[in-house]
Amino acid sequence: MERSVNEYIEANRKHWNEVAPIHTGAISYDVPGFKEGKSSLNSVELDELGDVQGKTLLHLQCQFGLDTLCWAREGAVVTGVDFSESAIDQARELAEECGIASRFLVSDVYDLPDNLDGQFDIVFTSYGVLWWLPDVTRWAQIASSFVRPGGTFYIAEFHPFAHIFDDAPDVDDLHVKYPYFNPGPPLRFDLEHAYAYAGPAVKLQNGETYRWQHPVGEVLTALVDAGLRIEFLHEYPFGLNFLPFMERVEGWMFRLTKHDGSVPLVYSIRATKPT
């Protein structure tokens, strides 16, 4: 029997509560490198968002706060939000250990207006955030409500087109498996037997997750309808290492070794709120 949206979200929350401590110890996140001064931010968001010195920045779906704290090191006054209590606990511990001024808040994005006051110079979110959200229109309205007049909204995200392809460990070419348009129930993924996304395989008790596919046009329209003025939409041929025939180009960014340059893997949108 089909679950309710709240049940899907709760299953995802249980998953993220379990994996947050795994992520902080994973090689790919390189928390030890961060503690020594290394940034987890990529050149895409650093170049496109620009100077954040002295600006207030709200990071939606911040996970355990690694990028949030890197923005603080860039000079921003940061607030990080995530629906995972475990992730926010990890973020606060990391901030305290590193002596980085920051604020972290446990809240679902949709409940954020009830849990946070004020507006920000920048509202930021990135990489693997939208497919956890059932309603992009409402997300855009809430994100826009926290942007001060004259302020900036910015997202860098995995391109939904890239994730229509079969991602089995032995796949040797691009083969369509998942829908680009998915107006029905979310796609179900079961990772309970092994969890190797961010490090060695780990047994999970909460490996069942649900994801909603949001085409780029849907996201762009939602932001415009929420009162934001689009400055640009960029697409890039590099992204997450989700296929066996990819090679690293920067940090955790990878490119295809077959069909390189022919498939968008990441996109970014920068928008402003009119004064």
Into how many domains does the chain fold? 1
Please state the rounded mean pLDDT for residues 155-159.
97
Q: How far is CA 149 from the centre of its chain?
A: 24
User: What is the extent of the structural domain holding 257?
Assistant: 5-272
Kindly state the DSSP code that residue 131 receives in the 8-state scheme.
G
Model's pTM, two decimal places? 0.95
CATH number at residue 144: 3.40.50.150
- Summarised one tens digit per residue, pLDDT across range 51-99 is 999 999 999 999 999 999 999 999 999 999 999 999 999 999 999 999 9
User: Strands 187-190 and 229-236: what pairing?
Assistant: unpaired
Q: How far is CA 210 from the centre of its chain?
A: 15
Q: Using CA atoms, how far apart are residues 247 and 256, in angstroms rounded to an integer?
A: 7
Arithmetic mean of pLDDT over the chain: 93
Joined tokens for residue 144: 């826009």
- The residue among 206 and 9 whose pLDDT is bigger is 9
Q: Which helix (H) or strand (E) holds 73?
A: helix 66-73
User: Is residue 43 exposed (0-12), middle (13-18) or buried (19+ Cβ within 10 Å)?
Assistant: exposed
pLDDT at 194 over 50: no
Please state the rounded mean pLDDT for residues 194-209.
70
Residue 207 confidence (pLDDT): 85
Joined tokens for residue 83: 């629906």
Please report, as a single letter, which amino acid is at residue 127. Y
Residue 271 confidence (pLDDT): 98
Place of tokens 């709240």: 6
pLDDT at 132 over 50: yes
Contact (Cβ atoms closer than 8 angstroms) between residue 273 and residue 121: no
